[in-house]
A and B are shown apart, each in its own frame.
Chain A
Amino acid sequence: MVLTVRAFRCWLTVYRRIWRSSIWSSILGPIFYLGAMGFGLGSLVDKHGTAALGGVPYLAFLAPAILASSAMTTGLDESTFPVYGSIKWNKIYIGAQASPLRPSDIYRGHLLFMVMRITLSALIFVVIMSAFGAPRSLWVILALPCAVLTGVAFAAPIAAWAITLKNEMPFNVVYRFGMIPLMLFSGTFFPLSQLPAWLRPLAYATPLWHGVALCRSLSLGRPDVLGDLGHVLYLAVLAGAGIWAGARTYTRRLYV
């Protein structure tokens, strides 16, 4: 545990020099998205009728979903190129290898940093979406840890996989065929009931849908205890499996 924190502090040292640019995009990104999609597009949707959304304004429907999907995006951004780059380009892992850190410490330390990044940007998002008046209830406070869990459910397994790669090409495939369709078809921008029946089970199986459903039910103040626990369990299992696998794949790649 002590060693994990040490590996984490290495990333913290790096981040202390670069936090400015990332904080800007964490603040302005949500404002842009909520402004354009929530208000701009929302004005068209609300005019047309919101019965399909359960009678809430489009902004209230959309904001928690973007919270979950931006947690996923942050998780992916931190666990793909940075992990691969740490062994290939800037060789942070190679340096860490020469210290008393074990490969599993390197992994957990980096994962801790990813959790910190996801939490930070999700926190900023929740604050901004509250300022926009999107949440319908105080339960939205619980949506924050749920969004972080969603992010980790992606970051932990992806980092465990990224370390095994020999070139960076598969990341493009993950972004194009993984992240983008997930973002578009996981009930983020429109309710899943509009998908064709044969596509729906596929959408229900994706981790992002569980994150979106979880955050949305909390933000709208309609928590469904049993269903939400199911979502949490699904995401936790995914994150746990990633953490388990990560210690192993890192050991295989970094053990000398």
Chain B
Amino acid sequence: MSEAVAVGGRMLPPVGRLGQLRRSAGGPGGLRLIERHARVYKHAWIVFVSGVFEPLFYLLSVGLGLGVLVGRVAGPGGALIPYREFVAPGLLAVSSMNGAMYDSTFNIFFRLKYAKLYDSVLATPMRPAQVALGEIGWALLRGTAYALAFTLVMLCMGLVHSAWAVFAVPVAVLIGFCFAAIGMTGTTYMKSWQDFDYVILASTPLFLFSATFYPLSVYPRAVQDMVAWTPLYQGVVILRDLTTGAVGPGLLWRAAYLAVLGAAGLYWSGRRIGKLLLVLRARISPQTAPHRLAVPSAWPRLREHRPPAGTSWPMPAL
């Protein structure tokens, strides 16, 4: 049994061997964060629901306008397909990416810096890795709802030509997972809202150039090779193959690529959140910032349990 520890004037409960194991695996703490978000969004349901419409507007605009201008393009199997059938899976991938990026960048930054949500979360037995997991879990739940709605609309508009399309929703969620994890890691490095210009700077070319709106063959060879490395392109290819029915075993490799990227992002963002919220505070000594002490009288006793200056707080591995 380890002792109770205090970090930055904050009392953390003792962590037993079993507890450590459970926490390092995420534990139920992540679920509590998801519950918290669900309760908050009950008051902001319009924001939640409106997310369904955005990709639909795009789809409608392509169906009514651009589709007529472009005519037919070469689909995954090489056969010519109507433009809207070509674009629809691309839009699904893009909306998964955008939803996840939005949730994991703007929203998390707001909670981190303005709402101070994680400061209060970490005053409970929840750990940083659980915050990361809970946030990403919430982003995925939201993404699932949107992907489901979009796929249903595609079905109603007659844009689905294969039973493989049932896998479109899980794949869209996988794309969301990948970008949520990457976006969240990036957010922990952000200093101000202006840094979000860089998020847009990264997501706009992904959105535009990942063979979403036109086949990869439009590019010269060198550019094609470069685009093939972007996670969004891989996601678009998987979804397009699924909805048009040109399915092969290669899709599994593409999915694995997305999963590995997402797992790496998840691991890294958990570490970063821990660093931001725990270690930085732990280094504030009572001499430099006496007003930050919640319980000054208890401080001398608690201080003994602080990690010595310079060592980082041991983070639970994911």
Q: When the two chains form their complex, are residues A36 and B47 in contact, meaning their CB atoms are under 8 A apart?
A: no
Q: When the two chains form their complex, are residues A184 and B197 in contact, meaning their CB atoms are under 8 A apart?
A: no
Chain B residues with CB under 8 A of A33:
204, 208
Look across to chain A and name the residue whose beta carbon is closest to the beta carbon of B61.
A184
How far, in whole Å, are A185 and B238 apart by their CA atoms in the complex? 29
Q: When the two chains form their complex, are residues B208 and A36 in contact, meaning their CB atoms are under 8 A apart?
A: yes
B44 interface contact, C-beta 8 A: yes
B317 interface contact, C-beta 8 A: no
Chain A residues with CB under 8 A of B47:
169, 172-173
Q: When the two chains form their complex, are residues A176 and B50 in contact, meaning their CB atoms are under 8 A apart?
A: yes
Q: What distance in Å separates the Cβ of A150 from its nearest Cβ neighbour in chain B?
A: 20
Q: What distance in Å separates the Cβ of A188 from its nearest Cβ neighbour in chain B?
A: 9
> In residues 159-215 of chain B, which contact A (Cβ within 8 Å)?
192, 194-195, 197-198, 200-201, 204-205, 208-209, 213-214
How far, in whole Å, are A173 and B50 apart by their CA atoms in the complex? 7
Q: What distance in Å separates the Cβ of B210 from its nearest Cβ neighbour in chain A?
A: 10
Task: State how many residues of chain A have any CB contact under 8 Å with chain B.
Answer: 37
Q: When the two chains form their complex, are residues A45 and B213 in contact, meaning their CB atoms are under 8 A apart?
A: no
How far, in whole Å, are A235 and B114 apart by their CA atoms in the complex? 36
Q: When the two chains form their complex, are residues B64 and A176 in contact, meaning their CB atoms are under 8 A apart?
A: no
How far, in whole Å, are A184 and B213 apart by their CA atoms in the complex? 14
Chain B residues with CB under 8 A of A28:
201, 204-205
Q: When the two chains form their complex, are residues A194 and B208 in contact, meaning their CB atoms are under 8 A apart?
A: no
Q: When the two chains form their complex, are residues A181 and B197 in contact, meaning their CB atoms are under 8 A apart?
A: no
Task: State how many residues of chain B have any CB contact under 8 Å with chain A.
Answer: 36
Q: What distance in Å separates the Cβ of A161 from its nearest Cβ neighbour in chain B?
A: 17
Contact of A176 with B51 at beta-carbon distance under 8 Å, contacts A185-B61, A194-B64 already known? yes
Look across to chain B and name the residue whose beta carbon is closest to the beta carbon of A170.
B46
Q: When the two chains form their complex, are residues B65 and A189 in contact, meaning their CB atoms are under 8 A apart?
A: yes
Scoring A residues 5 to 44 as 1 if CB is less than 8 Å from chain B, else 0, what string do you get?
0000000000000100110110011001101110011011
B16 interface contact, C-beta 8 A: no
Chain B residues with CB under 8 A of A36:
205, 208-209, 213
> In residues 189-204 of chain A, which contact B (Cβ within 8 Å)?
189-191, 194-196
Contact of A45 with B69 at beta-carbon distance under 8 Å, contacts A29-B204, A37-B213, A169-B44 already known? yes
How far, in whole Å, are A37 and B114 apart by their CA atoms in the complex? 37
Chain B residues with CB under 8 A of A89:
114
B218 interface contact, C-beta 8 A: yes
How far, in whole Å, are A173 and B47 apart by their CA atoms in the complex? 7
Q: When the two chains form their complex, are residues B58 and A32 in contact, meaning their CB atoms are under 8 A apart?
A: no
Scoring B residues 45 to 67 as 1 if CB is less than 8 Å from chain A, else 0, what string do you get?
01100110110011011001110
Q: Which of B50, B73, B201, B208 contacts A24 (CB 8 A)?
A: B201
How far, in whole Å, are A21 and B71 apart by their CA atoms in the complex? 39
Q: What distance in Å separates the Cβ of A151 from its nearest Cβ neighbour in chain B?
A: 18
Q: What distance in Å separates the Cβ of B138 from its nearest Cβ neighbour in chain A?
A: 17
A165 interface contact, C-beta 8 A: no
Q: Which of B51, B66, B192 contacts A190 (CB 8 A)?
A: B66
Q: What distance in Å separates the Cβ of B266 from its nearest Cβ neighbour in chain A?
A: 26
How far, in whole Å, are A191 and B64 apart by their CA atoms in the complex? 11
> In residues 177-224 of chain A, which contact B (Cβ within 8 Å)?
177, 180-181, 184-185, 189-191, 194-196
**8 additional contacts (CB under 8 A) given A45-B70, A172-B50:** A24-B197, A29-B200, A41-B214, A169-B47, A176-B51, A177-B50, A190-B66, A194-B69
Subset of 22 A-B contacts with CB under 8 Å: A21-B198, A24-B197, A25-B200, A29-B204, A32-B209, A35-B208, A36-B213, A40-B209, A40-B218, A41-B66, A41-B213, A43-B214, A43-B218, A45-B69, A48-B69, A52-B68, A169-B47, A173-B50, A189-B61, A190-B68, A194-B65, A195-B64
